[in-house]
Every structure is written in structure tokens, then in C-alpha cells.
Structure 1
């Protein structure tokens, strides 16, 4: 079920510029999961991270590497 929600959220994101901006401004995968939860999509940040490298529609999930200390 979570994978279905994740894929549906990614499809929604590709058609909503404001949502895309919010996701891209997020610091962590958990932040993205919270944004999704606010819109009724349930998945965990670690599920999103495991989905890294995969593509849904025009969206490719990629893990952002943060060098140095995490703020």
C-alpha cells in the first residue's frame, strides 16, 4: 500500500509546481513524507529512500548527499 501511495504522490508532484518546489526544498526524506501525509499519501521517509534511482512518470527519485555536518 505504501508503495502505491508513494507512486501516486510522485505523479501528483509532477503536475503541481508548488508541491514540487516544497519537496525540492525539503531537507530530509521524512520531511517529504510529512508533506505527502498532509495530502493523504502515507509512506515513510525510509521507503522513499529505498525508491531512490527509480522513475515514475517524469519524476526520478534521487537521494541528495549532504556533505559535512547535517543541520
Structure 2
């Protein structure tokens, strides 16, 4: 069920510029999950992280490396 919620949120995000900007400004996956929860979508930050690399519509989920981390 959470995966369906996540996908629905990503579809909404691709059509809402303000929402997209809020998500891109978020520091953590948990922050994104909180934004989604405020709009009625329920998924956890770790579920979003596990979805990294996948695409829904025009949105591709990608994990950002925080500044100071090296690969």
C-alpha cells in the first residue's frame, strides 16, 4: 500500500512546481515523507530511499549524497 501512495505522490509532484521545489529543498527522505503526509500520502522515508533509481512518470527518485560524504 505504501508503494502505491509513494507513486501517487510522485505523480502529483511532477505536475506541481511548488511541491517539487519543496521536495528538492528537503534535507532528508523523512522530510519528504512529512511533506507527503501533510497532503494525505502515507509512506516512510526509508521506503522512498529504497525506491531510489526508479522512475514514475517524469520523476526519477535519486538519493543525494550530503555534503562532506565521499564515495
- Place the TM-score, normalised by the shorter chain, in its bin: over 0.9
- Structure 2: state its 5+ residue gaps: none
The aligned length equals 69
The residue number in structure 2 matching 1:67 is 67
Q: Quick one: distance in 1 between partners of 2:38 and 2:25?
A: 16
Structural RMSD (CA): 1.0
* TM-score, normalised with respect to structure 1: 0.94
Aligned to 2:15: 15
Q: Distance in 2 between matches of 1:35 and 1:67?
A: 22
* Structure 1: runs of 5 or more not aligned: none
Q: Secondary structure at the match of 2:18?
A: helix
What is the CA deviation profile of residues 2-53 of structure 1, one whole-angstrom value per residue up to 9, with x for unaligned ones?
Answer: 0000000000000000000000000000000000000000000000000000
TM-score calculated relative to the size of structure 2: 0.94
The ranges of structure 1 where at least 4 consecutive aligned residues each deviate by more than 4 angstroms after the TM superposition are none
Q: Does 1:4 align with 2:4?
A: yes
